[in-house]
Amino acid sequence: MIAAAVTRTEEAPNDTIVRVLREDGSLDPAHDPKLEIDEVVHLYRHMVETRIIDERLVTLQRQGRIGFHIGSLGEEAAIIGSAFAMRQQDWLFPCYREFGAALLRGFKLQSFIDNMFGNANDPVKGRQMPDHYTCREAHWGSISSPIGTQMTQAVGFAWAAKIEKKSLAALVYFGDGSTSSSEFHNAMNFAGVFKTPSIFFCRNNGWAISVPVERQTASRTFAEKGVAYGVPGVRVDGNDLFAVISVTRAAIRRCEAGEGSTLIEALTYRMGGHSTSDDPNRYRAADELKPWVDRDPIERIRRYLEHNNAWDDNREEALREDVDKRFREAVASAEQAEAPSLTTMFEDVYKKMPWHLQEQRDELLAGPRAPKAH
């Protein structure tokens, strides 16, 4: 369904989708972000790492070793490219599909895997479900399940930075389905009125769980929704790493110049299920994947690197062995770690724990324990 939608919009007059990487391996100079070849290799490695970790986590969930995973299969260029374009001082507010961006920004693989198991070393102390973590050091906001809440949080953060005259931007990730939430309207309206240094990054991956994109909106594109709020929108090939970096950097320049927010619609495709709790075969025909498999963002970058004599089968094998080794070590460590202490349920609520929480904590610790289970 999404493939047909993309064809329709591409043929529409006055509709531009930013692309950089051409079929012959060359780059369109109009939007070329001018990356060094070593930078492209660095990003390719992270994209492959993200794909491998995705696949392994699905396997762990199927084995019953973790409870849940929500992946980014097919969306790696949109996620990694946008995160790479952001500066060190900038902040990212994730949806839940962007763990690859967090790892790129400095989130430790071990910490991520600890979160998947919810053990004592989990950054959020086992309080949330897997794939819901935070990392202040990486300027990475906390993930939460309610749809769209991160949008108003990101805009509020950006507004505070503007008031304090700090040179930073806040990028917020969300899917096409989140544009149906009230949070999208609230965040976009506030950003438009107050010209906050915000970047709205919509991963138009074709599906809001089982609802196809054409049933999410009657507007021709998601990018054009920004017009009503006074926020310019841009459409980009979300499977083109170079194009994603280019438009994100342009949005940062607008923020830095005090011109306000930008809405980026990245056209990509969710090649897997919504999560490990979802079976896309129930609502999606198998042949719908074919055009997107041919546009796999990882394969496109690999062809570019090989065209520039910067990658080969030996390097690919070494990369995959390295990721496999580090992943297995992280899982082994996570499985050996203790469960979070019960006392952590009462921590981080107040700076100083009040008497009634102390009383509840003591009563809990003195009570019977449930048998251990997954």
What is the pLDDT of the chain when averaged over all its residues? 93
Q: What is the pLDDT of residue 369?
A: 79
Distances (CA, A) of 126 to 265, 303, 368: 33, 41, 20
Query: Which residues form the catalytic set?
Result: 270, 274, 283
pLDDT at 191 over 90: yes
Host H or E run for residue 92: strand 91-93
- Which two three-digit tokens encode residue 111? 């910490």
* Domain co-membership, 183 together with 310: yes
* Domain co-membership, 137 together with 162: yes
Interaxial angle between packed helices 182-194 and 149-163, expressed in degrees from 0 to 180 and rounded to the nearest 10? 20
CA 285 to chain centre: 25
Q: How far apart are the first and last CA of the chain?
A: 38
Q: What is the pLDDT of residue 220?
A: 94
Range of the domain at 158: 2-340
**Mind listing the pLDDT tens digit for each residue in 237-294?**
999 999 999 999 999 999 999 999 999 999 999 999 999 999 999 999 988 888 898 8
Burial classification of residue 109, based on how many CB atoms lie within 10 Å of its CB (0-12 exposed, 13-18 middle, 19 or more buried): middle
Task: Give the domain CATH number at 8.
Answer: 3.40.50.970
Query: What is the pLDDT confidence band of residue 310, given thresholds at 50, 70 and 90?
Result: very high
* Domain co-membership, 278 together with 366: no
**Mind listing the pLDDT tens digit for each residue in 128-180?**
999 999 999 999 999 988 999 999 999 999 999 999 999 999 999 999 999 99
* Cβ-count burial 201-235 (b if 16+ within 10 Å, e if not): bbbbbbbbeeebbeebeeeebbbebbeebebbbbb
Count: domains in the chain = 2
Q: What is the pLDDT of residue 372?
A: 67
Instruction: Identify whether the C-beta of residue 221 lies closer than 8 Å to the C-beta of residue 265.
Output: yes
Q: What is the pLDDT of residue 266?
A: 98
* Domain co-membership, 236 together with 196: yes
* Domain co-membership, 245 together with 315: yes
